[in-house]
DNA sequence: ATTTTGGTTCGTGTAGTTGCGAACTAATTA
DNA sequence: TAATTAGTTCGCAACTACACGAACCAAAAT
């Protein structure tokens, strides 16, 4: 495979994976930027390179980048004597990936708790069902924490920025 | 707490939990219906009861209910000699909750695979990072499957409709 | 002091989403 | 056969999200 061929395929992949991020609820421009930073061989893009590569406006890039930094997906570095920001993927501890789904599930557990607390008959079929869901989620979160420990023990040699 | 008081609090909870479902991407009307079916003591609502309780139009209710049934969140039953549909929460196996996150993660793993396959230098920092993420997700999915088994073994006395 | 560089913020147009009422359908009842 | 019931579908208006360009700002270069 020639280099040009590879780059063409990479740009194609930016579009497909960008679309998938969109389906998961991320904004179109932010999805494309994140995909770009993951897929291309170049690991640091300047603001101008991003807007040029993706053909988006400065404002769209600015807003999306702010959001991606807030979400901890992207960071930038600078070099002395160079005002440009070099944006790149933020490399967080891999287990951080699960933090969001853990948070969501925790919220769900609390909600089910609130629902059950207001029920007249705690043993009605729906409530039995809700209780099972809650138990399953509690079991899952517990296991998640154990998994995290197990993973960290196995990989304690890695050095990431938190 | 009096019954009226409880019902008032339940209706309030329908609104708060409905809003949370909205934030997760569900449509407003569908969110309210789902919350209603989870929260109120009445376990079966007719179409008319739903539109009356939530003050929504027939069309909005129709569209939202179709969607909720498609998503496997709601089902309806009928009674002989009664044309009305009685909508209620669909009580699926609790571990079905995890199937979606498993699917998502599997997709992610495949995407990272595609990304890595197109890279010029597989050992560049970003790619090391992507590999770690991928490994973590693989480790997690494997564990998930074990968890599911463990859970099913512990709770094999329950009887759900699949 | 003025211009250039590297962005950010604001106001606007456009596309997409949502929910309503009206019109419709299919089954039942009168 | 006509009217009622139980919903569905359609067309439209209101609202929302998004991305653009223009204006703006702060730092550096000229």
Residues B15 and B77 in one domain: yes
User: Which stretches in chain B have pLDDT values below 50?
Assistant: 158-162
Q: With a 7 Å cutoff on the CB, does A58 touch strand C?
A: yes
Are residues A85 and A99 located together in one domain of the fold? no
Nucleotides of D under 7 A from a protein CB: 5-11, 17-23, 27-29
Asked if B2 reaches chain A (Cβ–Cβ under 8 Å), the answer is no
CATH number of the domain to which B53 belongs? 1.10.10.10
Residues of A with Cβ-Cβ distance to B107 under 8 angstroms: 20
Q: Which residue has the tokens 């909870």?
A: B13
Structural domain of residue A57, as residue ranges? Answer: 3-89
pLDDT at A36: 98
Residue with tokens 């790149």: A88
Number of CB atoms found within 10 A of residue A28's CB = 14
- Cα radius of gyration (chain A): 21
Q: Is A161 part of a structural domain of the chain?
A: no
Residues A69 and A116 in one domain: no
- In tens digits, chain A (162 residues) has pLDDT values of 899 999 999 999 999 999 999 999 999 999 999 999 999 999 999 999 999 999 999 999 999 999 999 999 999 999 999 999 999 999 999 988 888 889 999 999 999 999 999 999 999 999 999 999 999 999 889 988 888 888 778 766 544 444
CA of A60 to C1' of D18 (A): 9
Residues on chain A touching B89 (C-beta within 8 angstroms): 126, 129
Residues 6 or more apart whose CB falls under 8 angstroms from that of B104 comprise A24
* Smallest CA–CA distance from B122 into chain A, residue: A41
Q: How far is the CA of A85 from the C1' of D27 (A)?
A: 14
What 3-state class would DSSP assign to B153? helix
Does B159 map to a domain? Answer: no
Q: Which of B89, B109, B138 is the last residue of a domain?
A: B89
Distance A27 CA to C21 C1' (A): 33
Whether residue B135 is found in the same domain as residue B76: no
Domain-located, residue B160: no
Task: Determine the distance in angstroms separating the CA of A66 from the nearest CA of chain B, rounded to an integer.
Answer: 20
**Whether residue B83 sits in one domain with residue B28:** yes
For chain A, the domain total comes to 2
Enter the tokens of residue A93: 């501890």
Q: Are residues A35 and A54 in the same domain?
A: yes
Q: Is A152 on the interface with B (CB under 8 A)?
A: no
The long-range contacts involving B142-148, CB below 8 angstroms and separated by at least 24 positions, are B143/A143, B143/A147, B144/B98, B144/B102, B147/A139, B147/A140, B147/A143, B148/B95, B148/B98
Interface test with B, best of A31, A90, A136 (most B CBs within 10 A): A136
Say if residues B29 and B60 touch (Cβ distance below 8 Å): yes
């Amino acid at each position: 495979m020639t280099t040009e061929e590879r780059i063409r395929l990479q740009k194609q992949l930016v579009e497909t994976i960008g679309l998938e991020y969109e389906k998961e609820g991320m904004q179109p421009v932010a999805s494309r930027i994140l995909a770009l930073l993951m897929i291309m061989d170049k690991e640091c893009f300047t603001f101008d390179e991003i807007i040029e590569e993706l053909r988006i406006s400065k404002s769209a890039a600015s807003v999306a980048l702010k959001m991606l930094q807030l979400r901890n997906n992207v960071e930038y570095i600078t070099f002395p004597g160079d005002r440009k920001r070099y944006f790149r993927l933020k490399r967080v501890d891999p287990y951080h990936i699960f933090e969001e789904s853990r948070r969501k599930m925790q919220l769900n557990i609390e909600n089910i708790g609130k629902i059950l607390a207001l029920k007249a008959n705690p043993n009605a079929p729906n409530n039995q069902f809700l209780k099972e869901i809650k138990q399953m989620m509690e079991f899952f979160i517990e296991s998640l924490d154990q998994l995290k420990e197990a993973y960290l023990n196995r990989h304690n040699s890695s050095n990431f920025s938190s």
